[in-house]
A = this chain, B = another copy of it.
Amino acid sequence: MQLDETDRSILRILQSDARTPFSEIAREIEMSSATVHDRVGRLEDEGIIEGYHTSVDARAVGFGTSAVVGLRIEQGQEDDAVERLREIDGVQEIHLTTGEWDVVLRVYAEDTDHLRELMFDNIARIDGFSRSQTMVILGSELEDRSLPI
């Protein structure tokens, strides 16, 4: 599906603030709010808008530790391994990649003890697992996530 400049403007605004009222978007892009309403509905229906999320300070809710984890999985066992990984609380992203690792995860843990538990008791025990590398995040300089639409 082809996006026009109006769709892109709406996406740009919603990306930076998902709670922007349609009436305000309408003002900014100089269209009626009924139009904005229709377009947003269409973008949702077509799956171009995947969802509206609130980013919460991980530390404030008890997740002070985060890591990027690279995993090697034996050939043919990737699908099963991904299923196991999905079930682990704290595993927030699972990416299948080329290069040194087959799977790259983003993991949130309460503290380093909890992270160790996740790694040794949950992740390292997965069938097909052969080796891993944990890169503890000391700080995030950018965690923007908005696309340059």
* Contact present for A135 and B53 (CB under 8 Å): no
- List the B side residues contacting A16 at CB < 8 Å: 53
Q: How many copies does the complex hold?
A: 2
- List the B side residues contacting A138 at CB < 8 Å: 95-98
Closest approach, in angstroms, between the C-beta of A48 and any C-beta of chain B?
4
- Taken together as a complex, chains A and B put the C-alpha atoms of A56 and B147 apart, in Å, by 8
**The one of B53, B70, B89 that contacts A53, using a Cβ cutoff of 8 Å:** B53
User: What is the size category of the interface that chain A forms with chain B?
Assistant: 35 or more
Binary interface profile of A, 108-125, with partner B (CB < 8 Å = 1, else 0)?
Answer: 100000000000000000
Give 23 CB contacts A-B under 8 Å.
Answer: A15-B53, A17-B52, A49-B55, A49-B56, A51-B55, A53-B54, A53-B55, A53-B146, A82-B141, A92-B145, A92-B147, A93-B140, A93-B142, A93-B143, A93-B145, A94-B141, A95-B143, A96-B138, A96-B140, A97-B135, A97-B136, A97-B137, A98-B135
